[in-house]
Structure formats: structure tokens, C-alpha cells
Structure 1
Amino acid sequence: MGTLGLNALNRALIERQMLRERADMSALAAVEHLFGVQAQEPKSPYVGLWARLQDFQPKELEDLLTDREAVRILLMRGTIHLVSARDALALRPLMQLRLDRELQSGPFAKRLQGVDLDAVAEAGREILDDLPQGTADAGRQLQPRWPDREHTVLGNALRNKLALVQLPPRGLWHRSGRAVCTTLENWLGRPQQAMDRQELVLRYLKAFGPATVMDAQQWSGLTRLGEVFDELRPQLVTFRNEAGKELFDLPDAPRPDPDTEVPVRLLPEFDNILLAHADRRRVIADDRLGVVIGGKPTVLVDGYVVATWAIGKDRTITVDYIDDLPQSRKKAVAEECDRLQERIRP
């Protein structure tokens, strides 16, 4: 059992996330390989895929959403992800227990005490399947049955209890809109069927490994995955990180040389690689986690976060450096900004 330092873990993550070399694959194949794309901000998946794919065209992703081959839905860690339709049907049931716990202990818990949440969910399902709308709007229609509860509280219960898809135009590149929802089953015309937890762990490692059990639990929001890793142990290889914690990986997964050169990349808000591990130092130092929590797009230089970036009203991209970089590195950042700026022009 060898030891993998931060640079080795960084290069493995960069390689698997298609950030060393842009991949020649479809947007749908990329979304499935990445096992979902963070999508709290409607435009983020477009920037994330542009950073990872050759000749990515926004219309390709727009078509996936309008053709119902991909959806925006509440999944890992209780956040909105863009996933393929088949992954949505397989992942969403696994997340239900975590979302139920959030209703019992989260900010709305006290205001939902004494409410039959299953009854709220079934009533909400009828409303949202009959006419897609915002969860707060559906909450208003539920108030005659629960008149002592705020409509926003009832709407939040629907958000967690039902597998709700945010419908286009929400999430389209050239236009968007408010979050209008219907149930996943209604939108796709197929039932949910939970993915095996072993498959979940294997696909996580393919996209984010090598990783500890705690890393996988941080990414998914699930608990008790140690049992799954133990079941899979004969199929996996193991290492130690510099702190001595056990890392698991797929035997044939890429683990590049720690000194492998990697290019500058611009990442969107809440990019997957910044949120997929309990120990995030493989890509961002602990004292910089605030930029992720604050929802700022980030810049990778030599595989690590060194700056944030933003798009101004005139569509000009500005960079705010955390580190003082040599001019050669800043030039590479400016060139990557120019490439993205060309893409986002109307």
C-alpha cells in the first residue's frame, strides 16, 4: 500500500475530470462520466463543460434539457445537479433519506412539526403533475388544507419529499427563467429505480478517486458507505494519503505522475472538483474554501485554485488573484479568459 501525496491526488482528479486535456465526447457522455454537474447557478454547467470538452456548443446541452435526456434536480448534498435522465431516476431514491433528515433538522423543521409530510407530498404531486409551477406557488394551493402553515414552508416540504425537475427554459444558455417544477416521473414517463450503492461508489471513484470513505460521503451526502467500500475491497486497490488515511481506487483508473503538466482552467461556481471530497486540499487550500462557499468562479493554475474570476456587464472577464503569479502564468490565464470571453459573447 503506497502513499499518495497531494500532487498525485491532484493530477488524478484533474485527469479524471477531463481538465488536463479537453475530451472528445458528447455532452451527455460527459455528464454521465462526471456523475452529475453542479447546477445551482443555471449557467454553471455550460462553463464546466466548456472547460472539459473539445468544441463544446451550448446548444448541445440545451437540447439535452429540452429533449428530456438530462434534467436539473435536487440530488447530492441536497443541491441542484444536472444529470442524465437515467442517472436521475437511479440516484434520486438514494438521496431521499438524507432529504427527509433535512426536513426534520433543517431551518424549516420547527415550522413543519405536526404536519403529515407524506400527505403534503401526495397533494403536492397532484398539483405539480397537473400544472408545473414553482414550489411556493404549489404551497399556496396547499394552504386550505394546512391553513396554519406558511406557503413557503409547505413548498420547501415538496422540494425535499418529491423528486422535482426544474423545467426549461430554466437552465438554458441563451435564456432562462424561474424554477418551474414537475415530478421526475411525470417529466420522463418512467419510474424511479434506485441504483445499487456499490455502483454509486464505483462511479464516484471513476470520476473523483482515489478517495477515502469520508470523501465519498461528503460528495454524496450519504452515510454508512464504509460498509459498501468493505464489500468492494476485493475489487479495489488501496493507498494512504499523507495523513495516513486509507484511499480506495479502481485498479485501472488513471493516476498520472505528480509532475504532469496541466493547463490553466476556468471553473464555474461550485464546480464538482471543489466539493467532492472531505479533504479538499488536493485542489484548494483550506484557507481558500471561502471562495467556494461564496459561490465565486475559480481559476486553476498548475491544478490548484489561485484566483477567482467574474464576468462584467460588458462581458469582460476580470481575474482576482489570490497568489502572486509569474507573468508567464498570468499570460496563460488571460489567454484562457479570452477564449471563454469569445464563447459567451451574444
Structure 2
Amino acid sequence: MLTTRALNRATLHRQFLLERADRTPCDVVEHLVGMQAQEPFSPYYGLWSRLRSFRPDELGALLLDRHVVRASLHRATIHLVTAADHGRIEPLLRPFLHRRFASSPFGFVMDGLDVDEFTGAVTALLDEQPRTRREIGDALGARWPDRDASALGYAGSFLVPSVQVPPRAVWGRSGAARWTTASGWLGPAGPAASPADFVRRYLAAFGPASVKDVQTWAGMSRLKPVVEAMDDLRVFTDDRGRTLYDLPGAPLPDPGTPAPARFLPEFDNVLLGHDDRTRVISDEDYRRGIIIGGKPTLLVDGFVHGTWKLADDGLDVELFRPLTRAQRADVEAEGAGLLEFAGVGGDVRL
């Protein structure tokens, strides 16, 4: 049986949150199978918390050079993935993205429209030049004047494989979210991942985990037969009686391994990557709404212990429970490093 603490240490280890890694940002983004990027600059803080040496311009350069891209993928939310992973993952998630759009408040706009004609028109628009959703909608609205232009814009960015282009999310710069076709920006994609390959990569970064955990992370369904057919996986139970799966030989650190303080950005996938999130956040703290509300979180001893916010004159930390003297020193030192990374002066205020 794997206890909650054992699962916590295993997940933190695989997420490079137990010990910072000496790897490139591109390697880490690929290992994590993408990083939640709903907030444009969240991945910068996520990588800082995971890498021993990381500068913001490194990720900015990867975006500008098209080695990483931003797109609607897992759970139909914006993720930062490597260019190669977009080609592997997007085809696998495409049916889900289409279903999610159809059930969204904008899905009505496609009623009675020829899908091939619509996607062809969108592709031509986005290949011509990157456009915002509003610009997509306005252009499509001229062609289909009886349709809601705003809804057409959302349909265009969901139903055609597309990515956001810089300077959106480039550190020190800003820009509207403009979309272009994935093929136009990245070139021809390689072969798509199989569902089993997708599951293996998830387990390497988030395991051990249940089938429901994998499905929650990806936004997919019907993965149970896929997982059960992978007969080399190790099988465990947790202290709630759930069946968990893991890769053969995947590391399981001692539950007593110390876990340093870590400042995580909004919507970090370590908090969103499981159906049962108690391995990183207690039920009590989850009910505070900090994950759904998108607040940056502080990990102490491996678990969510508070929230944080950068100000012009320092770092404000809201603690949920008191800290020991050693924990306070650890949080203050990590917070000072965060201020230096962000280029903000001032103090860490607990």
C-alpha cells in the first residue's frame, strides 16, 4: 500500500520539486508533457521552481524560435508544450477538444454549418496571418452574417489545430493572443502518440496514479482498457483503497525524504494532474478555492501550505498554518530567490 505521503514524495520527485534538476527548459517541458499556461507567465515560475539554473530569457527564446508553443490541449486549457509534443499530443486530444467545444456556450454556432467548409475557411485565414479570436470571428462573420461572430471566433481556434504566436507570453514583452495554424507555424507534424504512450509519459511525470487520475489530467475518457492492457505496469493500492498504476522501475522515494519549500504558479499541473489531489493538497485547503481560483501556492513539507503574491515592494505570503522555525527560514530563503528571479526588490512578508 502507498500512503498519501509516499505518493506526495514520488510525485514531487518526478516533477523536479523534491530537488531541482540540471536539465534544459525544453527537456523539462517535454518530461512534464506540457505545462499549464493559462496565465501567460506561469511556466516561467514553474520552471524556476524545478530547475537549478533558469533564466526567463531561455524560455522566451524557445517561444520565439518555435521550439515550444502555446495551444489548447489537456482539459481544453492553454498548455505550453514542445513543438514535437504538439504533433504527438494534439491529434490524440482532438476528438475531446471538439466535444468540449460542442458542449460549450459557443457550440451552437456550428449548428447546420458544413464543418469541412468552415475549417477550410479558418485555415485560410490563419495561414494568411495570425489573428485574435475577435479578428477570426469578424472575418468569419462576414462570410456567415447570420452567425454570432464571437462564437465563430472560438469555433475557429478550437476546431482547427492552431497555436498562439509570440510575443504573447515572452518575458518582458506583451501581446494579444493571436492564433495561427499549427502546421503553418511548426511545419508537418510527426506521428501521433498512441494512448498507451501518452499514459506512460503521464506516469513518468505524475505517477503512481489511478485511471481516473490520468483521465482527469488529460481531459479524456475510456482509458481504463488502455491501462489494463499495459501488462508490464506495477499495481498498487493507496490508503483510500484505489488501484494505482506505475511504470516498472519508476522511483519511489522514502516517504520521510525532506521536501523543501516551493513557490508554485497559478494552475500548476502538480495541483491539477490528479483526480484525487490529496497527495499535494488537503481536502480542507482545496475547499478554499485556491486551485479553481488560480492563486499561486506555497508548498511546505510537500503540501500546499499557503498562497503568495508578488508586489512592487516584495513578496506577500498568506499562511494557512503556523510554520516551525526551520520551515520559516526555508520559506524566507526560497522567497528571496523568487524575488531575485522576478527582478523585484523588497522583503518576504509572512
TM-score if structure 2 supplies the norm length? 0.95
Indicate conservation of the 8 Å contact 1:309/1:320, yes or no: yes
Which position in structure 1 is the counterpart of 2:233? 236
Indicate conservation of the 8 Å contact 1:92/1:192, yes or no: no
Alignment of 1:198-237 (within 5 A): 198-232=196-230, 234-237=231-234
Unaligned runs of 5+ in 2: 345-350
Q: Does 1:303 align with 2:315?
A: no
Which position in structure 1 is the counterpart of 2:283? 286
Paired with 2:251 and 2:204, the residues of 1 have a C-alpha distance of: 9
Which position in structure 2 is the counterpart of 1:256? 253
Paired with 1:284 and 1:134, the residues of 2 have a C-alpha distance of: 36
Which position in structure 2 is the counterpart of 1:268? 265
Which position in structure 1 is the counterpart of 2:347? none
Unaligned runs of 5+ in 1: none
Indicate conservation of the 8 Å contact 1:315/1:345, yes or no: no
Alignment of 1:98-247 (within 5 A): 98-191=96-189, 193-232=191-230, 234-247=231-244
Alignment of 1:20-31 (within 5 A): 20-31=18-29
Indicate conservation of the 8 Å contact 1:134/1:181, yes or no: yes
Percent identity reads 46
Indicate conservation of the 8 Å contact 2:109/2:152, yes or no: no
Paired with 2:187 and 2:108, the residues of 1 have a C-alpha distance of: 35
Amino acid at match of 1:160: F
The alignment's C-alpha RMSD in Å is 1.2
Paired with 2:168 and 2:225, the residues of 1 have a C-alpha distance of: 38
Indicate conservation of the 8 Å contact 2:265/2:296, yes or no: yes
SS in 1 for 2:229: helix
Amino acid at match of 1:117: V
Paired with 2:117 and 2:320, the residues of 1 have a C-alpha distance of: 50
Amino acid at match of 1:185: S
Amino acid at match of 1:131: Q
Paired with 1:344 and 1:12, the residues of 2 have a C-alpha distance of: 29
**Once the 2 structures are TM-superposed, how far is the Cα of residue 328 of structure 1 from its aligned partner?**
2.8
Paired with 1:47 and 1:237, the residues of 2 have a C-alpha distance of: 33
Which position in structure 1 is the counterpart of 2:61? 63
SS in 2 for 1:262: coil
Amino acid at match of 2:30: E
Amino acid at match of 2:63: L
Residues 103/18 of structure 1: CA separation in 2 closer, same or farther (3 Å cut)? same
Paired with 2:91 and 2:117, the residues of 1 have a C-alpha distance of: 18
Paired with 1:193 and 1:335, the residues of 2 have a C-alpha distance of: 45
SS in 2 for 1:235: coil
Amino acid at match of 1:273: V
TM-score if structure 1 supplies the norm length? 0.96
Which sits farther off after the overlay, 101-110 or 239-248? Answer: 101-110
Task: Please point out which of 81, 94, 99 is paired with 2:92.
Answer: 94
SS in 2 for 1:308: strand
Amino acid at match of 1:89: G
SS in 2 for 1:71: strand
**Once the 2 structures are TM-superposed, how far is the Cα of residue 111 of structure 1 from its aligned partner?**
4.1
Paired with 2:54 and 2:90, the residues of 1 have a C-alpha distance of: 28
- In the comparison of the two structures, how many residue pairs are matched? 342
Amino acid at match of 1:253: A
**Once the 2 structures are TM-superposed, how far is the Cα of residue 307 of structure 1 from its aligned partner?**
0.3
Alignment of 1:70-81 (within 5 A): 70-81=68-79
Amino acid at match of 2:4: L
Amino acid at match of 2:128: D
Indicate conservation of the 8 Å contact 1:47/1:268, yes or no: yes
**Once the 2 structures are TM-superposed, how far is the Cα of residue 160 of structure 1 from its aligned partner?**
1.2
Paired with 2:339 and 2:316, the residues of 1 have a C-alpha distance of: 10
Paired with 1:269 and 1:182, the residues of 2 have a C-alpha distance of: 26
Paired with 2:104 and 2:178, the residues of 1 have a C-alpha distance of: 23
Indicate conservation of the 8 Å contact 1:120/1:157, yes or no: no
SS in 2 for 1:248: strand
Paired with 2:90 and 2:313, the residues of 1 have a C-alpha distance of: 36
